[in-house]
Amino acid sequence: MTAITISRKHGSLGGPVAEKVAEQLGWKYVDRSFINRVISEYGLIRLGELYDTPPKLRDLFDQDTQWTIEWMTRAVETLAVRYDVVIVGRGGFAALKDYSDVFNVLVTAPEDVRIQRTMEDEGISEEKARKRVERDSFTKTRFVRRYYGENWADESNYDLVVDTAELSVDDAVTRIVEAAKEHFATAQGPKAADAKVDPLLLETIEQQFARQR
């Protein structure tokens, strides 16, 4: 199967773009809440905490932390193995970086544009919007570097970077879909679709999809 991972900066409209990419392709759509629900079935409920709060030294050696990240990664890999899927956030590009049947996208826009959108969408002041935008980038960068050793903000880590200050949501969707199809037609190397999956984890994921219907 094939996967598109979409990382997005706060205020970039990456969420609507990702949803429309999945809709246009007729693929599954997975966001952080879906991943959280999957791994919570295994009693792993700290992913939000690990993502949003500053890491502690003990987290490097804490078994629950290690299991949380490992099962999050397994869930992302299983989705890429068994489904045509759009995966939003949660370091998907880093978890799947070695696979040729995965297309990694970063949705961005200039900071001033993202701040203005945040002000309008959330009804907050410019100062609060700026802090929210900056904190979002800092949090994502910290999480991905800490647990995957990759730079979330480095555009060279992505197959495509889309600027929604230059493109409408619909045009961004078209750009992503066309570029992804070209990538999948020509990419060489190891494929996620050839990897083995944990049958119990796959069953949990299928149950989550069934609950969405």
Q: Determine the pLDDT at residue 51.
A: 55
Half-sphere exposure of 32 (CA within 13 A, CB side): 16
- Local structure of 97: helix, strand or coil: coil
Fold type of domain 3-202:
Rossmann fold (3.40.50)
Place of tokens 């995957």: 148
Q: Determine the pLDDT at residue 56.
A: 58
pLDDT per residue of the chain (213 residues) written in tens, 0 to 9: 799 999 999 999 999 999 999 999 999 999 988 988 888 887 755 555 555 565 555 555 566 677 778 888 999 999 999 999 999 987 899 999 889 999 999 999 999 999 999 999 999 999 999 999 999 999 899 889 988 899 999 999 999 999 999 999 999 999 999 999 999 999 899 998 888 888 988 999 999 999 887
Q: Determine the pLDDT at residue 58.
A: 57
* Helix residue ranges per DSSP H, the chain: 14-25, 32-40, 47-52, 63-82, 92-95, 111-122, 126-148, 169-186, 199-212
Whether this model's pTM surpasses 0.85:
yes
Q: Determine the pLDDT at residue 60.
A: 54
- Local structure of 23: helix, strand or coil: helix
Phi, psi of 161, rounded to the nearest 5 degrees = -115, 125
8 A C-beta contact, residue 158 and residue 94: no
Q: Determine the pLDDT at residue 119.
A: 97
> Would you kindly state where each structural domain of the chain is located, as residue ranges?
3-202
Find the farthest-apart pair of alpha carbons in the chain and give their distance in angstroms, rounded.
49
